[in-house]
Structure 1
Amino acid sequence: MTETTTIALIRHGQTPWNAEFRIQGRTDIDLNDTGREQARFAAKELDDSWNIVTSSPLSRASETAAIIAEGLGLSGPAHVDHLVERNFGRAEGLTAGDELEAVRLPGGFVDSETEAEVSARGLLALEHLRDTYAGKNVIAVSHGSFIRLTLQGLFDLTMPRINNAAVSIVTFTPDGWSLDTVNGVPAHELV
């Protein structure tokens, strides 16, 4: 691979479950009006250098990606299965409390995908995007835990919570992957 490929990982906009602090995982919850506005704002924050819009197949990511694509005058989104959110097993739909604690395990929850599994799948997703869209600037709308764990695994850094509609950018060059921004903040400013 000799071409530079840049990937903007964007978390979907807010959903009703985000507003209620419910764990969504693979449960397919639509955006709310706040989430749609966040997606429109994300599109305004991006410049015209982006070529392709992709997304997780879940509706909250797909709708966010469609809003961003429209705002940038791009087609899409193309769905990429590897971009789907972490499977949180029995924790999906729960909020903090006794019921959630009853299904908590070290590093996850009963019947959930492990952090290592998510991180490995995230690297596969980045490699797929890099290889499929070599030399392009790719927007990939996904999910908070997926983005955080992918970046943690790739760069061996502790990542902050990924905010709704926030942009995190990675670049692949012949020297390998580099981290440009997380939640719109330059990587060198991360503490």
Structure 2
Amino acid sequence: MLALIRHGQTDWNFAGRLQGRTDIPLNDVGRAQARAAASAYAGGMWQAVVSSPLGRARETARILADALALPLGATYEELLEQDFGAAEGVAVSELATRWPDRDFPGKEPDEEVARRGAAGVVRISADYEGAPVLAVAHGTLIRHTLAGLTGHDARHYPRFDNLSASHLRAQDAAWVVQSIGGRPFDEVRLEIDARAAEDARAA
């Protein structure tokens, strides 16, 4: 079992700016979110907390590990947020005007993000011999990873709130998505399929 958790809030999250690889730290709200979320993982099931190397993810992981008395494990490059190139720091509200196709100069290809995230899931599981692990990462990385595993287009996935968790379980040599952003996968899949159908009609 693996839980992919989005980090806590940063000032750029609050301001609606695209972060990507820019290493913006948690703000006080983000730290409080991490402390509040820890209770959801109490009870002894989880064995460790790992994270992306970026500061906002690492601090979130440290807060969770301290609150749960769990080991704070390694950082994984595979969990880094997508590199958005020239769009980093730009207000999200401006993106559609400046880059209607989201073809930001210097952007890491979406398909590479999905492959990288899936490789990270496999490596974490191998490093912890299949034990249940909390992995703190980033919204777009999580979205592309899950979409790649379920065979959907990441554009149709919902946006993830700070500290929301998505659960994966290894089953029959594959990873099965059980929840997305704290909601059952079967429930969210209906919304994903509806968005895909709407896009197909618009095309």
> Normalized against structure 2, the TM-score is what?
0.86
In structure 2, the gaps of 5 or more residues are 191-203
SS of the aligned residue for 2:72 comes to coil
Shift of 1:180: 1.1
**Which of 153, 156, 159 is 1:161 aligned to?**
159
Say whether residues 1:49 and 2:25 are aligned partners.
no
Larger RCO (CA under 8 A, 6+ residues apart): 1
Q: Name the residue aligned to 2:193.
A: none
Say whether residues 1:149 and 2:147 are aligned partners.
no
Partners of 1:107 and 1:115 within 8 A in 2: no
Aligned residue type for 1:61: A
Say whether residues 1:33 and 2:31 are aligned partners.
no
Q: Could you tell me how far apart the structure 2 residues matched to 1:96 and 1:179 are?
A: 28
Shift of 1:75: 1.8
Partners of 2:18 and 2:92 within 8 A in 1: no
Q: Could you tell me how far apart the structure 2 residues matched to 1:91 and 1:112 are?
A: 8
Shift of 1:96: 3.6
Q: Could you tell me how far apart the structure 2 residues matched to 1:129 and 1:152 are?
A: 19
Task: Give the direction of change, closer, same or farther, for the CA distance of 1:31–1:172 in structure 2 (3 Å limit).
Answer: same
Partners of 1:94 and 1:100 within 8 A in 2: no
Q: Could you tell me how far apart the structure 1 residues matched to 2:52 and 2:15 are?
A: 22
SS of the aligned residue for 1:45 comes to helix
Partners of 1:54 and 1:77 within 8 A in 2: yes
Shift of 1:175: 4.6
Say whether residues 1:92 and 2:88 are aligned partners.
yes
Q: Could you tell me how far apart the structure 1 residues matched to 2:61 and 2:103 are?
A: 28
1:102-159 per-residue CA deviation (whole Å, 9 max, x = no partner) reads 3x26354111011111001111111111221122001110000000010001111342
Q: How does 1:100-139 map to 2 (within 5 A)?
A: 101-102=97-98, 104=99, 106-139=101-134
CA RMSD of aligned residues (A): 1.6
**Which of 60, 63, 72 is 1:64 aligned to?**
60
More helix per residue: 2
SS of the aligned residue for 1:106 comes to coil
Give the share of equivalent positions with the same residue, in percent. Answer: 42
Q: Name the residue aligned to 1:177.
A: 175
Q: Could you tell me how far apart the structure 2 residues matched to 1:35 and 1:99 are?
A: 24
In structure 1, the gaps of 5 or more residues are 1-5
Partners of 2:166 and 2:178 within 8 A in 1: yes
Q: Name the residue aligned to 1:3.
A: none
SS of the aligned residue for 2:178 comes to strand
Say whether residues 1:7 and 2:5 are aligned partners.
no
Partners of 1:88 and 1:108 within 8 A in 2: no
Q: Could you tell me how far apart the structure 2 residues matched to 1:105 and 1:120 are?
A: 25
Shift of 1:98: 5.1
1:11-59 per-residue CA deviation (whole Å, 9 max, x = no partner) reads 0000000000000000000001110111112211113200011000000
SS of the aligned residue for 2:125 comes to helix
Partners of 1:107 and 1:114 within 8 A in 2: no
